[in-house]
Amino acid sequence: MGCSFRSATNPKKQLIIATRNPDKFREIRAVLSDLKLEFLSLIDFPDLPEIEEDGQTIEENAIKKATEIHNHTGLPCLADDTGLEVDSLGGAPGVYSSRYAGETATYADNCRKLLEEMEGIPYPQRTAHFRCVMALVTKNKVITTEGVCEGYILTQMRGQNGFGYDPLFWVEPYGKTFAEMEPELKNRISHRAIALNKMKPHLLNLFSTEDFGLCSGKFK
User: Which of the 8 DSSP states describes residue 147?
Assistant: E
Q: Look at residues 115, 114, 106 and name the one whose alpha carbon lies nearest to residue 163.
A: 106
Q: Which amino acid is at 211?
A: D
> Applying CB under 6 A, what is the total number of residues that bind ligand IMP?
19
Q: Are 126 and 148 in contact (CB under 8 A)?
A: no
Q: Does residue 170 belong to the site contacting ligand IMP (CB under 6 A)?
A: no
Q: Which of residues 178-217 bind ligand IMP (CB under 6 A)?
A: 178, 190, 192
Is 169 or 212 the residue whose CB approaches ligand IMP more closely?
169
> What length does the chain have?
220
- Residues facing 90 on adjacent strands: none
- Residues facing 86 on adjacent strands: 128
Q: Does residue 152 belong to the site contacting ligand IMP (CB under 6 A)?
A: no
- What does the alpha-carbon distance between residue 1 and residue 43 come to, in Å, rounded to a whole number? 22
Long-range Cβ pairs for the range 10-13 (8 Å, 24+): 10/75, 10/76, 10/207, 10/212, 10/213, 10/214, 12/38, 13/37, 13/38, 13/207, 13/212
Write the interaction track for ligand IMP spanning residues 96-135; mark x where CB under 6 A is met and - where it is not: -xx--------x--x-------------------x-----
**Is 44 assigned a catalytic role?**
no
**Shortest reach from residue 165's CB to ligand IMP, in Å:** 4
**Shortest reach from residue 6's CB to ligand IMP, in Å:** 32
Is 68 or 81 the residue whose CB approaches ligand IMP more closely?
81
Task: Compute the Cα dihedral for 206, 209, 215, 219 and give only its sign.
Answer: positive
User: Of 80-88, 114-122, 153-161, 209-217, which segment contacts ligand IMP by CB under 6 A?
Assistant: 80-88
Is 130 or 170 the residue whose CB approaches ligand IMP more closely?
130
Q: Does residue 166 belong to the site contacting ligand IMP (CB under 6 A)?
A: yes
Task: State the catalytic residue, choosing from 34, 80, 81, 211.
Answer: 81
Q: Residues interacting with ligand IMP, by CB under 6 A? A: 21, 53, 80-82, 84, 97-98, 107, 110, 130, 162-166, 178, 190, 192
